[in-house]
Amino acid sequence: MKRLLPLLLLFSLFISSCASNSAQAASEASAQYIENKGSDTIVNLALAWAEKYQSDHPDVRISVTGGGSGTGIAALVNGTVGIANASRSIKDEEIAEAQSKGVDPVEHIIARDAIAVIVNPENPVSELTLQQISDIYSGKITNWTEVGGEDRPIVKLSRETNSGTHVYFLETVLRLGNKEDKTLFSMDTLLLPSSEGIISEVRDNPNAIGYDGLGYVPDDLKMIAIAEEAGGAYVLPAIETVNDKTYPIARDLYMYTDGEPAGLIKEYLDWILSDEAQEIVAELGFVPVLK
């Protein structure tokens, strides 16, 4: 009997361990999960939403990662995410690829954003027209004296090509909304992988010009007031100027799902459009969706 006691104890511990592991596995299996990926512009907002939603719904897990709008849409097309974040509309060729794989992308506008053109606070230039910004980024204007500044070369900064912000800026600013225009970024434009990279470079370089989502621009950098055309009013980006449509570089922000959302994803998207979630939009410097 004394010899059996250690064996019985070990067996009891084994059973307890199995029961504990089974309970943990059952708990993890019962947790509801959303994979959310895409736009770096949206990532901080998406993280704030996920944190708040999970605190109110302990049985839900939401994974949020960036990588760019193109990355998020590609993940949706390949069936590896439940929600793709994008700071641009999905392209026709992306829709075609998705449909060829049995995926039906459905668009949801979840916030709005202004794209701020930013310079170092030492730069005396405070106003530019859209045409001047286009000419700077396409390489027609190369010195700050050409737009009322000091005799300094212009250092152009942009997001990388997989960024929805890059695509939007190319189409809306460089090409001035003309779909037939083939203007491209000048070859000497520095392509940076993140909003934070552009902020850091503008902060350190008095010759630099960059662009970023309004919610990412810190107080120590200078935002340029922009006019749609010469002689027009110069307007700074702000929630008010986006809503009254006087600021010319503003856009919708999107989440995409495969088909009309249902279940947990629908509940989450419905909450994102609620007053509670849209307050977070404003707190982070984006523009709430008007109802």
Model pLDDT for residues 65-91, shown as the tens digit of each residue: 999 999 999 999 999 999 999 999 999
Here the tokens at position 267 are 């509940």
Q: What pLDDT score was predicted for residue 162?
A: 87
Of 10-19, 25-34, 95-104, 147-156, the least confident: 10-19
Q: How confident is the model at residue 21 (pLDDT cuts 50, 70, 90)?
A: very low
pLDDT above 70 (res 17): no
Q: What pLDDT score was predicted for residue 102?
A: 97
| Domain pair 33-112+252-283 / 113-250, same fold | yes
Q: Scan for tokens 């939007």, then name that residue.
A: 168
Hey, where are the domains in the chain?
Answer: 33-112+252-283, 113-250
To the nearest whole number, what is the mean pLDDT of the chain?
A: 90
Q: What pLDDT score was predicted for residue 31?
A: 61
Here the tokens at position 183 are 């203007």
Q: What is the arithmetic mean of pLDDT over 247-275?
A: 97
Q: What pLDDT score was predicted for residue 215?
A: 87
pLDDT above 70 (res 238): yes
Q: How confident is the model at residue 14 (pLDDT cuts 50, 70, 90)?
A: very low
- Predicted model pTM: 0.78
pLDDT above 70 (res 28): no
Pick the CATH number of 113-250 from 3.40.190.10, 3.50.50.100, 3.40.50.620, 3.20.20.150: 3.40.190.10
Q: How confident is the model at residue 291 (pLDDT cuts 50, 70, 90)?
A: low
Q: What pLDDT score was predicted for residue 30?
A: 42
Query: What type of residue is 118?
Result: I
pLDDT above 80 (res 240): yes
Give the 3-state secondary structure of residue 153: strand
Q: What is the arithmetic mean of pLDDT over 42-68?
A: 96
* Rounded CA separation 15/3 (Å): 19
Q: What pLDDT score was predicted for residue 290?
A: 73
Closest CA to 250 of 277, 206, 211: 211
Asked if residues 253 and 87 have their Cβ atoms less than 8 Å apart, the reply is: yes
In sequence order, what are the residues at sequence separation of 6 or more whose Cβ sits closer than 8 angstroms to the Cβ of residue 45? 111, 215, 253, 280, 281, 284, 286
CATH placement of domain 33-112+252-283: 3.40.190.10
